[in-house]
Structure 1
Amino acid sequence: MKTAIVNIGRILTGDIAAPTVAGDAILLDAGLISSVGTLSASQVESADVVIDAAGTIAIPGLIDSHVHITFGDYTPRQKTVGYLESYTHGGVTSSVSASEVHVPGRPKDPAGVKALAVAAMKSFQTFRPGGMKVHAGAVILEPGLTAQDMVELKALGLRYAKAGFGAFETPFDYAPIVKAARDAGLITMAHTGGSSIPGSSGVWAEHILAMNPHVSFHVNGGPIAMPEAGFRRLVDESDVALQICTAGNLRTALLVAEMARSSDKLDRLLVATDTPTGSGIMPLGILYTLSHLCSLGGLDPELAFATACGNNARVFDLNSGFIAPGRDGDIVLIDACAGGSQDDALSALRNGDIPAVSAVITDAVPRFVGRSRNTPAGIRKVRTASSKIVELFEGGAH
């Protein structure tokens, strides 16, 4: 399918090093972005669907790099069906499993945790709730797992390993198996902060430094933050990616973001939600956290979006998260909400408002055009200007 988006007001790339690109149009073809900038009349006419962006802002689809998926579009923690599809109405087009720890009765032996991770990975390879890509399957590191297990999991296609919920005596004991997972080519993540589920323990900066994972998950607390002195240690003494989450401590999220900005390490800052958990289901969670970073933390919106797009994509090795030729055709159009005090999405974020999500496209296929059911309407009328197929993709009302 070929989709053209025209009449774009601004294009944010998702790249922290070059957050904007000139142009007013994007062409998507066969699931990927094929052209960014200016389209010729013939390129527009060749599209199956043409979307009039009406001057709204185009961003890469948001990547929520901390979602506790289980199986299917269902969360047993909140007993809710359809939450992932709902997240697409918050502009989230990709999610990364933070481990399938909330599967009821989850196994804890080596064979069981391996089987659980592989089954989750494979079950989401073709299942796209609302068009979302779900990068599932994160093996929960437990005593008894070996370096050979990590090699075998990598050979099966698994990409992620998670420390923090296993039955190790102390968090320091994770270090050898985290190293083995890294050596095998897995991307390693570690719970950070106070205990979040019965039987787990708090993980603080000294533990993260000893483990040396790729990502310090919810470094601002999931939901309880670690002792304050640890934040500076992680920024200065490691190259670990620092993930801040909506379901964590807001004050320390702002603290970490400012430390990263002032140390010229914003490329290590990631934004995610850490949901669904006891904090609930948050389809607009990333947008709220970005509004906090901009309005309370003074971060430029163009850079803030990169923390939820390209930074996540780079750390988790995804082809989404950037608006550039060859990247996944995942685009979101955003605007200021109707009835607010601002006249564009970036000004709204600086003001502390969430933007309106006016269209979501994944794999070059429009999922809805005109209005998200989870945000107020935008002030501009995004519409399907032409379609050679039956579906017009108009979004429904609340």
Structure 2
Amino acid sequence: MRVAIVNLSRIVSGDLNAPFVAGSSILLEGGRIAAIGDLPPGSIADVDVTVDAAGTIAIPGLIDSHVHITFGDYTPRQRVVGYLESYLHGGTTTAITASEVHVPGRPKDPAGVKALALAAAACFRDYRPGGMRVHAGSVILEPGLTGADLRELREAGIWLAKAGFGAFATPYDYAPLMREARACGMVTTMHTGGSSIPGSSGIWAEHVLASDPTVSFHVNGGPVAMPEEGFARLVGESSVAMQICTAGNLRTALLTARLLEEAGQPERLLIATDTPTGSGIMPLGMFYTISHLASLGGMAPERAIAAATGNNARVYGLNAGILAEGRDADVVLIDACAGGSKDDALSAISNGDVPAVSAVFTAGVPRFVGRSRNTPAGMREVRVAGCRLPMDFSGSAH
């Protein structure tokens, strides 16, 4: 499928180093961005679908790097079906598992732990709820697992390992397995903050430093933040990516962003939601945290968007998250909400508003065009201006 998005007012790249792309059009083809910028009319004359962006703003699809996947589009924690598709209507086009810890009766023996990760990954290998790409299957580190087990899993396609819910005597005991996981090419993640479920323990900065994970999960608390002095230690004594989550402590989220900015290391800041959990379902959670950083933390909105897109993509090694030729064709059109005090999406975000999601494209396919079911309508009318396919991409069809 060839899809042209035209009449954009701005293109936010998701790249901290070059946050805007000049031009007003994006060409999607074969699941990738084929061209972006000021495109000559001849280059988009024979597309299958033309979407008139009507002066809205294009951003990369949001990457939620902390979603508690189970199996299918279902969460037993809140007994909700279809939540991932609903998140897509909040602009999230990629979800990364924070481990399948909420599976009822979760196994804790080595064989069961490995089976759970493999089954979860297989469940989403070809399943894209609402068009969302889901990276599932994170091995939960438990006593009894060995380096050989982790290498076996890596060879089978498991590339995520999680510390924080295992039955170790102290959080320091995760360190040997975390080093083994990193050595075999896994992205390692570690719960940070107070205990979030019965039977788990609080994990503070000294524990994170000992394990040296790729990502300090919900460093601002999931939902309870670690002691205050730990934030400066993680910034100054490590290169760990520091993930802030909507379902955590807002004050320490802003503190984390400020400390990383002052250290000249904003690329280490990641945005996620840490849902579904006891905090519930948050289809607009990513945009809430983006707006918090911009309106309360004084961050430029395009840089906050990068923390939710390109920064996550770099840390997790994904081809999504940045609008550039050859990247995954995951694009979201945003606008100021009708009736608000601002007239464009970036100004609205800086004002503390959640933007209207006016269209979402994943893998180069329009998933809906016109209006999200989870946001107010935008000020501008995004529409399908031309379509050669027997399909209806309008928001009303979803």
Length-normalised TM-score, structure 2: 0.99
Mapped partners of 2:359, 2:243: distance in 1 = 27
Match of 2:150 in 1: 150
Q: Secondary structure at the match of 2:279?
A: coil
Residue 353 of structure 2 is aligned to residue 319 of structure 1: no
Residue 13 of structure 2 is aligned to residue 2 of structure 1: no
Matches within 5 A, 1:101-112: 101-112=101-112
Mapped partners of 2:58, 2:188: distance in 1 = 31
44-53 vs 272-281, greater mean Cα deviation: 44-53
Matches within 5 A, 1:30-109: 30-109=30-109
Match of 1:238 in 2: 238
Q: Secondary structure at the match of 1:226?
A: coil
Mapped partners of 1:45, 1:244: distance in 2 = 43
Match of 2:199 in 1: 199
Match of 1:334 in 2: 334
Q: Secondary structure at the match of 2:93?
A: strand
- Tell me the amino acid that sits aligned with residue 128 of structure 2: R
Match of 2:128 in 1: 128
**1:397 positional shift:** 8.5
Match of 2:396 in 1: 396
Mapped partners of 1:114, 1:381: distance in 2 = 48
70-79 vs 32-41, greater mean Cα deviation: 32-41
Q: Secondary structure at the match of 2:94?
A: strand
32-41 vs 223-232, greater mean Cα deviation: 32-41
Mapped partners of 2:114, 2:15: distance in 1 = 34
Match of 1:177 in 2: 177
Q: Secondary structure at the match of 1:232?
A: helix
Q: Could you list the per-position Cα deviations for residues 265-287 of structure 1 after superposition, in whole angstroms to 9, with x for gaps in the alignment?
A: 11000000000000000000000
Q: Could you list the per-position Cα deviations for residues 198-218 of structure 1 after superposition, in whole angstroms to 9, with x for gaps in the alignment?
A: 100000000000000000000
Mapped partners of 2:397, 2:376: distance in 1 = 10
Q: Secondary structure at the match of 1:396?
A: helix
14-23 vs 274-283, greater mean Cα deviation: 14-23
- Tell me the amino acid that sits aligned with residue 265 of structure 2: K
Structure 1: which 5+ runs fail to align? none
Q: Is the 8 A contact 1:371 1:397 kept in 2?
A: no
Q: Is the 8 A contact 1:225 1:248 kept in 2?
A: yes
Mapped partners of 2:144, 2:17: distance in 1 = 42
Q: Secondary structure at the match of 1:359?
A: strand
Residue 165 of structure 2 is aligned to residue 168 of structure 1: no
**1:392 positional shift:** 2.9
**1:234 positional shift:** 0.2
**1:21 positional shift:** 1.0
Q: Is the 8 A contact 1:291 1:353 kept in 2?
A: yes
- Tell me the amino acid that sits aligned with residue 249 of structure 1: N
Q: Is the 8 A contact 1:95 1:133 kept in 2?
A: yes
Mapped partners of 1:356, 1:341: distance in 2 = 13
Mapped partners of 2:123, 2:341: distance in 1 = 44
**1:44 positional shift:** 1.6
Q: Is the 8 A contact 1:373 1:397 kept in 2?
A: no
Q: Could you list the per-position Cα deviations for residues 142-190 of structure 1 after superposition, in whole angstroms to 9, with x for gaps in the alignment?
A: 0011111111111001110000000000000000000000001000000
- Tell me the amino acid that sits aligned with residue 344 of structure 1: D
- Tell me the amino acid that sits aligned with residue 159 of structure 1: W
Percent identity between the aligned chains?
68
Superposition RMSD in Å? 0.8
**1:396 positional shift:** 2.2
Mapped partners of 1:298, 1:306: distance in 2 = 15
Match of 1:274 in 2: 274
- Tell me the amino acid that sits aligned with residue 127 of structure 1: Y
**1:117 positional shift:** 0.3
Deviating runs (4+, > 3 A) in structure 1? none
Q: Secondary structure at the match of 1:72?
A: coil
Q: Secondary structure at the match of 2:190?
A: strand
- Tell me the amino acid that sits aligned with residue 100 of structure 1: E
**1:46 positional shift:** 1.7
Residue 301 of structure 2 is aligned to residue 304 of structure 1: no
Mapped partners of 1:397, 1:35: distance in 2 = 28
**1:105 positional shift:** 0.4
Q: Secondary structure at the match of 1:306?
A: helix
- Tell me the amino acid that sits aligned with residue 260 of structure 1: L
Mapped partners of 2:366, 2:86: distance in 1 = 15
**1:360 positional shift:** 0.1
Q: CA 1:158 to 1:390, structure 2 compared with 1: closer, same or farther past 3 Å?
A: same
Q: Secondary structure at the match of 2:242?
A: strand
**1:42 positional shift:** 2.1
Q: Is the 8 A contact 1:189 1:216 kept in 2?
A: yes
Q: Secondary structure at the match of 2:182?
A: helix
Q: Could you list the per-position Cα deviations for residues 293-326 of structure 1 after superposition, in whole angstroms to 9, with x for gaps in the alignment?
A: 0000000001000000000011111110010111
Match of 1:356 in 2: 356
- Tell me the amino acid that sits aligned with residue 27 of structure 1: L
Q: Secondary structure at the match of 1:178?
A: helix
Q: Could you list the per-position Cα deviations for residues 318-349 of structure 1 after superposition, in whole angstroms to 9, with x for gaps in the alignment?
A: 11001011110100000000000000000001
Mapped partners of 1:348, 1:264: distance in 2 = 27
Residue 242 of structure 2 is aligned to residue 249 of structure 1: no
- Tell me the amino acid that sits aligned with residue 287 of structure 2: L
Match of 2:369 in 1: 369
Mapped partners of 2:340, 2:104: distance in 1 = 43
Q: Secondary structure at the match of 2:396?
A: coil
Match of 2:343 in 1: 343
Length-normalised TM-score, structure 1: 0.99
Tell me how many residue pairs correspond in the alignment. 398
Match of 2:219 in 1: 219
